[in-house]
Amino acid sequence: MLFWLALLGFVTLNGALIAQAYYNNSKAQGCFESLSQKMPTADEAAILAKMDTLFHVQYIDKQDFPPAFYDELVINATGFGVEISTVYNVTIWPLGQVEALDEVGAYDPDDLEGLDVLKHKFRIDLSFNPYAISAVGDQ
């Protein structure tokens, strides 16, 4: 009985982590679509300010996204329309993160030993690409 309870807890925890990643992506996609439709003539600074406000209203914190979300964020505001996009990955570690990391936080899968091999095989990589575009004539 204890085994099944632990398995259920493990599945529930990892399911919640995956659901949270998809939830955050859907909120980002909705924010991008809203900004591109409601602010097609705005400049990049105004869109960034409004994006932070929309994330705050939706209870999304900057730490909910990996640094790549903001590093890869592209806002192309031409005055005739706006294009907003980013690309980022989220890694879920069901058994915990690999411990054999180098100075920059990376590792070579061929050099892993022991439990780190299992942790690497069970990790879940999710890729997201929220994107929205509009033109002034779309309104």
What is the arithmetic mean of pLDDT over 38-63?
Answer: 91
21's CB contacts (< 8 A; 6+ apart) are 90, 92, 126, 128
What would the pLDDT profile of 61-75 be if each residue is shown by its tens digit? 889 999 999 999 999
Of residues 83 and 108, more confidence is placed in: 83
Query: Residue 68 and residue 70: Cα distance in Å, rounded?
Result: 5
Query: Residue 122 and residue 52: Cα distance in Å, rounded?
Result: 34
What would the pLDDT profile of 98-136 be if each residue is shown by its tens digit? 888 888 878 888 888 888 899 999 999 999 999 999 866
- Residue 125 CA to its chain's centroid (Å): 11
Give pLDDT, residue 138: 47
* pLDDT for 19 beyond 90: yes
Query: pLDDT band at residue 87, thresholds of 50, 70 and 90?
Result: very high
Give pLDDT, residue 101: 83
